[in-house]
Amino acid sequence: MSVRASLPHHHEYENGDHLHSGNIHQMLPDHTELQAVSDAMKQLGDPTRLQIFWILCHCEECVTNLGAMIGMTAPAVSHHLRLLKASGLVTSRRIGKEMHYKAADTPLVESLHRTVEDIIQIACPSL
């Protein structure tokens, strides 16, 4: 039986609304469509990675400066950056001997950035 087949129970609501039983299930995104979002949210479930992500949504920065901003060693920051980069949230480029990181320019990253700021009720800094 297909996941998108008709539901086994048909519920009548007082207002005649069938959205919950029929239309919602028809609009349900496929598991594979949700995988990137799920992976990204797992990475942002760590407070340190969330801090790094937020910083990189506003500026491009090297590991040394990121470490100074959040009070961590460069190797510890690099570990978090590897995970953020692997999930597609962060990109990097080499400038001389240093790697510089910034938030990826994707709709998912933009949405997560706005969501983080909405939740913690903070506005983007004026640069």
Number of structural domains in the chain: 1
Structural domain includes residue 18:
no
Q: Give the Cα separation of 66 and 19 in Å (integer).
A: 47
- Whether residue 36 contacts residue 108, with contact meaning beta carbons closer than 8 Å, is answered with yes
- In tens digits, the chain (127 residues) has pLDDT values of 344 566 676 666 666 555 555 567 777 788 887 888 898 899 999 999 999 999 999 999 999 999 999 999 999 999 999 999 999 999 999 999 999 999 999 999 999 999 998 888 777 776 5
Structural domain includes residue 23:
no
Q: Give the Cα separation of 20 and 32 in Å (integer).
A: 22
- Domain region containing 83: 35-120
Count the alpha carbons within 13 Å of 19 in the hemisphere toward its beta carbon.
3
Q: Which 3 state secondary structure label does DSSP give 5? A: coil
Task: For residue 109, give the CATH number of its domain.
Answer: 1.10.10.10
